Structure 1
């Protein structure tokens, strides 16, 4: 319990720095509590009582930021849900509580009209958190079996977004707010991150600013970080004792870590421990998809050798120079050659791999030159447009101007 971890005066000091602890999780940039009259205004719009756990949260803070991982199964995908904000009245952006309530009321009214039904103006699900317009968290306020449940909604993205959720998704996070907060965890220790961008980064930066500009003591800051890190999952202990394969969610976290660190030896250990290597690992991407898209080629090869399935279009999502040896391995285990895969390898600076895929494609198709030229021209147009936009300084791209220019050059100079 947080009350056992911090003394009352420490909790008061944290509150002064915009930090509130609720259900063993850290809320930062926290707002003052919601006044009673505002809670009453929200209550008047609901089909049933606001769950007492949400009222308890609002009595501590009207809103703020949280920085944890949350993975949920949606529409068959393994989705990372962004629950980074608690909405609050007075925000003029995506975090405005009343704004989201008004949005939900408008949507409900339009749905009732479309179905030629009457609507009583009452919300059955109350939005209170999420991330911008793409992810939202609701509390069920309609009396019945699901009352008090916390739901997560995620917006579907266009088909062009590979492995993303392509239809809006909705699923249960927990049977109440405390259970939902217990689902928030840290996949990686924020003090030993696997990459440059990691969960916990926002909180650590906030704490640094509070220390440097507002006098938060190092001792209390370190104590809060220690408390925060207690949410880090431990998959190493069950891996060591041979039980990891029995825990699906924990196994997937371990497998994502192996991919993120491109650790072939860890992949082998996970496979030997009975960790499932099939099924969605991130979005609809299976383990080999994820490894290839992240440039984790050693992990990808280890996955294939350990029996992980290879999607027919696996080679279409290469985003870094891949070796001919890995391409051969993938082709031998189910990957299908395509004009897109050839162009991707060319763009990424892997001409030998591109020619190997082209040879395999040519054995089954008689349109290789035309198919490749069509894909190359489309890819060049997209890259050149992105490069022009990046050079204006008004937009950014993960490849940067140099990386985009390099891919353009690769495509322009390649000949089959």
Structure 2
């Protein structure tokens, strides 16, 4: 029972597909799981279902979550998508029965590979996640880890800065702790990119189309927004460096908004810029991928590390002085870097990189140019034929091709 809402309000919220569990808001909720079905699932597990999971399932057997969640996996800083609670009968990626059957098949296959007989009991029970790429499990084996919550994330071999293999991480020692780890990194009333916009839109729709009282919707929104993470208060207090998680959130905000001033404030407070910020990408690479060139320069000025392939990250016209700074800090000068700068419309930066390459760059650049121009040209043909959607559009692709064809060392 929530201390924020009365029993009558909770009943009214349920009529609008809203429930509260462990101080977190669920929307588009499903009916509770029947005791007979709970007993059926219990019989499939190595150990007892934890009380926290029973409490959740007796409240709702499915629904949506709209919060942020991060953890470290294989040295990467990973954002996890726990936006769904699985439930029977969804017939899609949320299907609880289907995911349980999937885990049973995986357990059987693993036992056969080990040359052992599987006892037919699950040790990890899937309860939520997002489609096929992120899943949340409750540990249902006896022992010290019983009841803990584990996240699984699909690896993307060959993808830059992504996990190179499937990975797992423990989120919390129980389901209540896992829900407590859910937060809002940005205020949905102030940032249109906030995860929480989904909940506010849901509330608006319930008010406008289903008669939900506006004051009740406002109370839900206020309760929901209590999960916001506050990095600004410790920033003002000068204590942010002592809180690495909040400092990382502040830095992500700075890069997302190309706020060089905020980067400098973080540096002055002693915030470290040496840890992965997104996947395996460190802050400079994140800034470059987001075209946050002012923030990237501020990071360089603060001594942030530079990856060897930093110049390959450009996808918009790079400032020549920033390219010079990257080269001075360890970015490798090569033909691909020259071609990236040319394609993005910065011939001066391209010549700067070329001079740092030394002998043989003309032939190497010609090969890189031709390969890059061919890819852009092929994409342009598909876009014009209506067979491909591309973030550059036809005009942007044509400009890239023209830049590469017109430039000469």
Shorter-chain TM-score tier? over 0.9
Query: Structure 1 stretches of 5 or more lacking a match?
Result: none
Summarize the Cα distance change of 1:37–1:292 in structure 2 as closer, same or farther, 3 Å threshold. Answer: same
- Contact kept, 8 Å, 1:342 with 1:358, in 2: the verdict is yes
Alignment partner of 1:230: what SS? helix
Give the corresponding residue for 2:18.
Answer: 19
Displacement of 1:394 in angstroms is 5.9
Give the corresponding residue for 1:372.
Answer: 365
1:184-214: CA deviation from partner (whole Å, max 9, x where unpaired): 1111111111xx5331122222222222221
Is 1:403 equivalent to 2:393 in the alignment? Answer: no
- Contact kept, 8 Å, 1:316 with 1:338, in 2: the verdict is no
Q: 2-side partners of 1:346 and 1:63: how far apart?
A: 51
Q: 2-side partners of 1:388 and 1:201: how far apart?
A: 37
Give the corresponding residue for 1:144.
Answer: 143
Matches within 5 A, 1:73-222: 73-159=72-158, 161-193=159-191, 197-222=193-218
Summarize the Cα distance change of 1:389–1:174 in structure 2 as closer, same or farther, 3 Å threshold. Answer: farther
Alignment partner of 1:181: what SS? helix
TM-score when normalising by structure 1: 0.94
Q: 2-side partners of 1:231 and 1:218: how far apart?
A: 21
Give the corresponding residue for 2:300.
Answer: 304
Q: 2-side partners of 1:392 and 1:205: how far apart?
A: 36
Q: Is the deviation greater in 275-284 or in 10-19?
A: 10-19
Aligned residue pairs, count: 409
Q: 1-side partners of 2:313 and 2:60: how far apart?
A: 44
Displacement of 1:250 in angstroms is 1.0
Give the corresponding residue for 2:39.
Answer: 40
Give the corresponding residue for 1:228.
Answer: 224
- Contact kept, 8 Å, 2:189 with 2:197, in 1: the verdict is no
Query: Structure 2 stretches of 5 or more lacking a match?
Result: none
Aligned Cα RMSD in Å? 1.6
Is 1:286 equivalent to 2:285 in the alignment? Answer: no
- Contact kept, 8 Å, 2:338 with 2:365, in 1: the verdict is yes
Give the corresponding residue for 1:243.
Answer: 239
Q: 2-side partners of 1:303 and 1:51: how far apart?
A: 46
Q: 2-side partners of 1:96 and 1:262: how far apart?
A: 41
Q: Is the deviation greater in 344-353 or in 242-251?
A: 344-353
Is 1:5 equivalent to 2:1 in the alignment? Answer: no
Give the corresponding residue for 2:327.
Answer: 331
Alignment partner of 1:162: what SS? coil
1:337-391: CA deviation from partner (whole Å, max 9, x where unpaired): 1222222222222222122111211x2xx33223223323333343344444444
Alignment partner of 2:352: what SS? helix
TM-score when normalising by structure 2: 0.96
